[in-house]
Amino acid sequence: MDNPYKIAIIGGTGKVGRHIASRALGNGYQVRMLVRDPEKLTFRDARIEIVEGNVQNLEDIQKLLKDCQVVINTFGQPLKEKPIYSSVTEKILEVMADLQIDRYIGVTGGSLTINGDKKSFLNRVGAKMFEIIYSSMMIDKKKEWHILNRNKLIKWTLIRLPFIVDGTEKVFIKENLTDMPGTKITNRDIAIFIINQIENLKYVQKAPFISN
């Protein structure tokens, strides 16, 4: 029996996004995906509704989100371009508020450090290195976090990830709210965790770390 929820996926053509779409369909959800160039789709399924557009275009986001109940954002930053995570997330939340959609699930890197974290020494060093090497990206990631953290109306969850690897599910996923519990996770396990968060509200307005 199909689930009545329709999920809007941003970043569905990436190495994680295609598994999210597949897992959502397997769980009976309806899926709509924003795609810049449908000709470049490597994962195809007739059940997926494709919206051609650009995540930076407000009208394209409105078209994507119409009649949806859940938004999953795994948007990947284009290489060598100015970081736009925060502006993209801000646009998405704006449209969600207008359309009265209240469930948002996004992803970010484990290098993001927020108040309340108790990272190990190695994880603190790793996060500091990211802040030095990828300073503009990390500044924008922090801005994205503050945009989400200020929003008390939407049931958002921001999942912090370690290194992502291709592979089959490991099934067991470690979760922690204050420190990264491992160094890597498979793209399929990320998809499993994300789809499980649609109706599981354990991490609403929180930013859990996950790993294998």
pLDDT in tens, 96-143: 999 999 999 999 999 999 999 999 999 999 999 999 999 999 999 999
- Residue 133 domain-assigned (yes or no): yes
Domain count, the chain: 1
Q: Transcribe 120-175 into DSSP letters.
A: -HHHHHHHHHHHHHTHHHHHHHHHHHHHHHH--SSEEEEEEE-EEE--------EE
Local confidence band at 1 (pLDDT 50, 70, 90 cut-offs): very low
- Residue 29 domain-assigned (yes or no): yes
- Residue 73 domain-assigned (yes or no): yes
189-198 pLDDT per residue, tens: 999 999 999 9
Range 19-38 average pLDDT: 92
3-state secondary structure of 189: helix
Contacts 24+ apart (CB under 8 A), 88-92: 88/10, 88/55, 88/56, 89/144, 89/147, 89/148, 90/147, 91/55, 91/56, 91/58, 91/61, 92/10, 92/61, 92/65
150-196 pLDDT per residue, tens: 999 999 999 999 999 998 888 789 999 999 999 999 999 999 999 99
Q: Rounded distance, CA 185 to CA 169, Å?
A: 9
Q: Transcribe 11-44 into DSSP letters.
A: STTSTTHHHHHHHHHHTT-EEEEEES-GGG-SS-
Whichever domain contains 123, its CATH number is 3.40.50.720
- Residue 1 domain-assigned (yes or no): no
- Residue 142 domain-assigned (yes or no): yes
- Residue 145 domain-assigned (yes or no): yes
Range of the domain at 27: 6-211
Q: Rounded distance, CA 160 to CA 114, Å?
A: 11
Contacts 24+ apart (CB under 8 A), 61-65: 61/34, 61/91, 61/92, 61/95, 62/95, 62/98, 62/99, 64/8, 64/10, 64/32, 64/34, 65/8, 65/92, 65/95, 65/96, 65/99, 65/101
Give the closest residue to 160 by CA, choosing from 123, 211, 121, 107: 107
- Residue 47 domain-assigned (yes or no): yes
- Residue 14 domain-assigned (yes or no): yes
pTM for the model stands at 0.94
β-pairing, 209-211 vs 174-176, is antiparallel
